[in-house]
Amino acid sequence: MRRACVVIVAAVLLVGCLGASGVSSHPAAATASMPNGGSTVTTDDSGPVVVEGWAPPPVAIPRDPGYVESLGPYADVWLNGGVVPFGSEEHMSYLMSCVESAGFEVTPDLVHLGYTVHAGAQEDRFFKVDAACGQAAIDSGLVASRSNPSRESLVVDYRAKLVQYQCLADHGFTPLGPPSEESFLDSGGMWDPFSGVGSAQFSEAEVVCPHNTTVVIQQVLASGRDLPDGP
């Protein structure tokens, strides 16, 4: 019997567990194309989602999460008016608690900064709950919407992914080579260096080279360097 399972990784939904043993697709970052299939659900600006007998809990807004300082010159563009980055620990923590409040069992995934939900026969209800939770996080100001990203944020995303690409190559993995910056911008950000990494090595690659682009930016700036201008 097929067991419905949903994996949330940095606010991207990967659907499809087979049997009782894990997930058929490996994770992807918030803005990445999924390297091994799966289905995505976009919750940004999709209008109100009503789930009978339930509503998202209030969103706790952290007073000083430290992102303005750790993201330095990229803070304004990357946060885009939100208090924390989309797909950040604080964002995912709210989504997990929100989904749990609707009666779903959530298993955190600390490596991928995400979580797994075994939705069973309630998969359709889960997607409605998840959409409502995602919109609540946006409406509260915790995070900014990721629909229609600005050119400036895509430039930062591209430069951070160049760091990911070089990290993967330096550690012996086989990342997908970078497009030109203009091609990346024209595609709306459709390039993920990790999509060249095979399934067997994917988890190992994520441990060595952060897949979350916010973490990449923070680490580069903390080392006293800046994001690269190009390949």
pLDDT by residue (tens digit) across 3-45?
455 655 554 444 444 333 222 222 323 322 222 222 233 344 4
pLDDT of residue 26: 26
Q: What does the alpha-carbon distance between residue 145 and residue 123 come to, in Å, rounded to a whole number?
A: 24
Residue 105 has pLDDT above 50, yes or no: yes
DSSP 3-58: ---EEEETTEEEE-B-TTS-BSS----TTSPPTT-------TT-----BTTB-PPP
pLDDT of the residue at 51? 86
Cα Rg, the chain, nearest whole Å: 17
Res 190: pLDDT: 94
Per residue in 43-87, pLDDT (tens digit) is 444 557 778 899 999 999 999 999 999 999 999 999 999 999 999
Residue 74 has, within 13 A of its CA and on its CB side, a CA count of 27
Q: Would you call 116 helix, strand, or coil by DSSP? A: strand
CA distances to 91, 98, 144 from 69, in Å: 18, 28, 18
Least confident stretch, 106-120, 146-160, 163-177, 199-213: 106-120
Average per-residue pLDDT for the chain: 82
